[in-house]
Amino acid sequence: KKSEVSGVVPKADIKPKSMHHAKKWSGEVENLYRFQQAGYRDEVEYKQVKQVDTVERWPETGFVKKLQRRNNTFYYFDKQRECNDKEVHKVKIYVY
């Protein structure tokens, strides 16, 4: 029988109330783009699924640096913006 890791309480499954698409690029949209590239809605879902408290970010820009996909492979992102203008409208912004 596996013993539970002490202190690790799975966070309640938080579901978004609504969703809309991004209209223009921002730092927030950039990070959402990166989470969605890796297969997550956003940082909230990533932290729930991966049971982590922090996400690795570039200190210079605050953009997400590295994410672990559900299949445990890693996505690495640049310091610079990766979400092109033509991709911005595809980014989903979830409201909780």
Q: What is the pLDDT of residues 33-90, one digit of tens each?
A: 999 999 999 999 999 999 999 999 999 999 999 999 999 999 999 999 999 999 999 9
* CA separation for the pair 92, 21 (Å, rounded): 5
> Would residue 10 count as lying in a domain?
no
Closest CA to 63 of 44, 83, 45: 83
Which helix (H) or strand (E) element contains residue 74?
strand 74-76
Contact of 92 with 28, CB cutoff 8 Å: no
Two tokens at 82?
A: 């990766």
* CA separation for the pair 70, 39 (Å, rounded): 7
Range of 27's domain? 18-95
The domain tally of the chain equals 1
- pLDDT of the residue at 8: 43
> Would residue 4 count as lying in a domain?
no
